[in-house]
Chains A and B, each alone.
Chain A
Amino acid sequence: MHKQNKYTVSHAPFWHDGDTVTTLNQNIILAALPAAIFGILKFGAPALGVLALAVSTAMLWELAFNFISKREITIADYDSAAIGLLVGMMLPATAPWWIVLIGTLIAVVMGKMIYGGIGGNPFNPAVVGISVLLVSWNAIFDFDAALLNYEFGFTALAPLGALKHQGVAAMDLFQIKELAMGNQVGSIGTVFGAGIILGGIYLILRGYIRWEISLSYVAGILITAFLFRLVNPDLYASPLFHLFTGYTLLGAFFLAPENSSSPVNLTAMIIYGAMGGVMTILIRNVGSYADGTVFAILLINLINPLIDRIRPQALGKGVNNA
């Protein structure tokens, strides 16, 4: 027998659809860009500074953790870049550097790395980061104060803050179309509702997020807000107002469908999304925070392992795994 080549031997299947974690995260970042770029245009260089610092520090925290835990370096998968971008997008343009630093530290290290990195986190890392900031330094998230030095050509009031403090009468100050087109005061990446929807639709069409979660989340928001309004229109704002203000849309398309912390089975996804929408409106209308999106998402992340047990029966199995 003559000398033989060595052939690659591995297990079937021998084809792949070509997806990688890197392309997944690159697409998420791409989808978030319209809203982020709009924020930069609107709020100027400080917004760019916050986003750049958030993305870079998020990646550096992961790198540092890789070194400390003596693991393989995993920042090339862009996962912490996506987390950093989302954290940055939820901050006001004038957020001080140390807030960004702490936010990404908590998001990446406490939200993801200590659970073993990508895929192990029970909560959405970006939401963990923002929640801690929101509880610890609530004043930073007072968008009216944060953006005091800006001159806008529209009502310079944070819509949800106004709703909380002035009641439903404040709603007359805002038009839904203006809110959707980003003419509102808020965080860098969440003011431009139409842009977020655009990115969300892109992710849904390309199959990078689970559309069931996003749609049921939006449905949850709209239906709950509608019911509140039905009960007492003098006290509660309209469904569309809730949809286009605060972190709602970012929550629906980027935060709630985060892979690791959300369910994968159909019924579970619908319950999960709808619960998120319901909780968001409950916190806004009944609770003490102006915007409840991040806490609502933490809550649904919490019930995710439980409800994801609701799954279809596997082939040939009896009724015992519901």
Chain B
Amino acid sequence: MIKRSFIKLTGPRLLCDQVEPDPKKPETIPIPPRLVLLLHEPLDSTRETLIKKGDTVKRGERLFLYKESTEYAVSPVSGTITSIASYTGDFGTIATYFIVERDEKDTPSNGFAEIADTPNLKSADSFLRSLPGAPPLSRFTDPDCKINTLVIEGTDSDLMSTTRQYLLATSKEEIKRGIQILRQMTGVAKIAITVPENASDDLSAEGVQVFKISQVYPKALPQMIMQDHLEIIPVPGATCEDQGVTFMSIEAVISLAKAYAQKEPVFEKVLTVIAKDGTRHRVKAVIGTPLHRIFKQFKLQTNERDRIIVGGPMMGHAAYTLYHPVGPDTDTVQIQDRDAIPYVSDYPCINCGKCVRVCPANVPVNLLVRYLEADLYEEAADNFDLQSCIECGLCSYVCTARIPLFQYIQLGKHQLIELETEANNA
């Protein structure tokens, strides 16, 4: 963890990591015998699922939970489903996981190959949603949001991660091809790409706008990019997509290019693995690889009460099991030693104002938290700008009283949605 500097007239200056000048190639993790696939749809125990335990699946086959399901997971290997169960995430979100036991046959499914000659949005959305980088293709097909700007993120939004920067620096050809495919497929008017401020990039020749993003956290966050470079002020409570902008990881662009070139979906995700002592390993692992496989490869020990962080230190989430899989959007995995975990407390706000100073969205966090602590979510949203929060986590990072402010804010937003659904259903 980064401690405050001794002299601190202004807020903290957290700098995002930069990829090394001559980056090493990622190490490939062998495909494990058992893969875990997460599907963002709750399992209903009263109904019979479409895919059942014992079913065989092919490589690249889509797994739907029910007949009317739109969400799907794609199996990166051929094999047998050995287990289907519920997975509980943050704020009680329920997902389903499949465990696929790999067989040696490696039979491919040819569903995508049949339509790969003519890239089109609808077919891409129905086959490629879980490509590495998780392309938000469904946003383009959604009639409710009219996307006119696509921002490709060549910068990592959280600290510590260099995955996207690495890909930006090393896969120029694929990026160009991917952008072509995307332009053709989506017909989106404006395509922009974010690059680190010191990167010299020749992608502008493609008719793509290049946004140079400052290294200072949280400048690479979607809402900040919208504000600083697109000059669109994020509307509180609305997503970027509601305002016509969608963000796509650079890895998604590369995977799209590769998928259409090979006429087969790709499954290898690049990610940065950070050990307790800060050493980094760049890794290529198949989506669905349980984290313990990666740790084993590098002989990384995890002990009781350590923290396994999926994502960056500011916005990631903590995994509760080593069987947590590498997902399409997993850019970083790190292990935090139990002694390095800063404590949080239930102390009241002492009104020191550090959070107000540091907030990039000018949210009056000191007042907001008092309402959130008292479960007054609607007042918090109406009078204290709950919805303006861009979820960078800086307020919690600086809080002297160690209040889990970011968690309160997320909880508040979550509760507001619940209240809204309740009101709509009533």
A→B interface (CB under 8 Å): 1, 4-21, 24, 116-120, 204-207, 210-211, 259-260, 262, 264-265, 311-317, 321
Contact = CB atoms under 8 A, between A and B. Distances in A.
A202 to B, nearest CB: 10
Nearest to B404: A11
Contact of A17 (B2, B227, B311, B410): B2
Nearest to A207: B8
B281 interface: no
Given A20-B402, A315-B223, A211 B9 contact: yes
A11 B318 CA distance: 7
Contacts of B402: 16, 20
Contacts of B188: none
A9 B318 contact: yes
A11 B3 contact: no
Contact of A313 (B234, B353, B362, B407): B362
A20 B400 contact: yes
Interface stretch (B37-45, B195-203, B207-215, B382-390): B382-390
B348 A7 contact: no
10 nearest interchain CB pairs? A264-B353, A207-B8, A314-B385, A16-B342, A11-B407, A315-B361, A13-B393, A314-B388, A17-B4, A15-B1
B352 A259 contact: yes
**Most central of B314, B322, B361, B362 by chain A CB within 10 Å:** B362
Contacts of A311: 356, 362, 364
A76 to B, nearest CB: 11
B6 A206 contact: yes
A215 B410 CA distance: 36
28 contacts: A4-B321, A7-B302, A7-B306, A8-B305, A8-B307, A9-B318, A11-B318, A12-B314, A12-B318, A13-B397, A14-B342, A15-B1, A15-B159, A15-B342, A21-B400, A21-B401, A24-B350, A118-B350, A119-B349, A207-B4, A207-B7, A207-B9, A314-B361, A314-B388, A315-B227, A315-B385, A316-B235, A317-B385
Given A11-B406, A264-B366, A316-B234, A17 B7 contact: no
Given A13-B406, A17-B4, A205-B7, A119 B317 contact: no
Given A17-B397, A118-B348, A260-B351, A316 B236 contact: yes
Contact of A7 (B3, B9, B307, B393): B307
- Chain B binding site: helix, strand, loop or mixed by DSSP? loop
B344 A10 contact: yes
Interface in B172-214: none
Contacts of B347: 21, 118-119
Contact of A15 (B90, B314, B390): B314
Interface in B1-20: 1-4, 6-9, 12
A207 B352 CA distance: 10
Contacts of A20: 400, 402
Interface of B: 1-4, 6-9, 12, 90, 159, 223, 227, 233-236, 302-309, 311, 313-323, 336, 338, 341-342, 344, 347-354, 356-357, 360-364, 366, 383, 385, 388, 390, 393-394, 396-402, 404, 406-407, 410
A40 B81 CA distance: 79
A145 to B, nearest CB: 38
A105 to B, nearest CB: 22
A12 B405 CA distance: 10
Given A117-B348, A119-B351, A10 B397 contact: no
A204 to B, nearest CB: 7
A9 B320 contact: yes
A5 B306 contact: yes
A317 B315 contact: no
A206 B338 contact: no
A21 B403 CA distance: 11
Contacts of A116: 348
B309 A210 contact: no
Nearest to B383: A321
Nearest to A18: B3
Given A9-B318, A10-B407, A19-B400, 17 more contacts: A5-B304, A8-B318, A10-B318, A11-B410, A13-B313, A14-B316, A15-B2, A21-B347, A206-B8, A259-B352, A264-B364, A311-B356, A311-B364, A315-B223, A315-B236, A315-B361, A316-B236
Contacts of A118: 347-348, 350
**Most central of A9, A120, A314, A315 by chain B CB within 10 Å:** A315
Given A11-B407, A17-B4, A314 B352 contact: no
B3 A315 contact: no
Contacts of A313: 362
A24 B321 contact: no
Contacts of B1: 14-16, 18
Contacts of B6: 206
Given A7-B307, A10-B307, A264-B356, A17 B3 contact: yes
Nearest to B12: A17
Contacts of B316: 12, 14
Nearest to A23: B400
A204 B7 CA distance: 9
Contacts of B8: 205-207
B388 A12 contact: no
B348 A317 contact: no
B343 to A, nearest CB: 8
Nearest to B303: A5
B10 to A, nearest CB: 8
A12 B400 CA distance: 16
A316 B227 CA distance: 10
A13 B344 CA distance: 11
Contact of B313 (A14, A17, A210): A14
A119 B234 CA distance: 32
A316 B235 CA distance: 5
A316 B237 CA distance: 10
B362 A12 contact: no
Nearest to B11: A207
A6 B388 contact: no
Nearest to A312: B362
Contacts of B399: 16, 19
A207 B399 CA distance: 13
A5 B302 contact: yes
A20 B402 CA distance: 7
A266 to B, nearest CB: 9
Nearest to B408: A11
B277 to A, nearest CB: 16
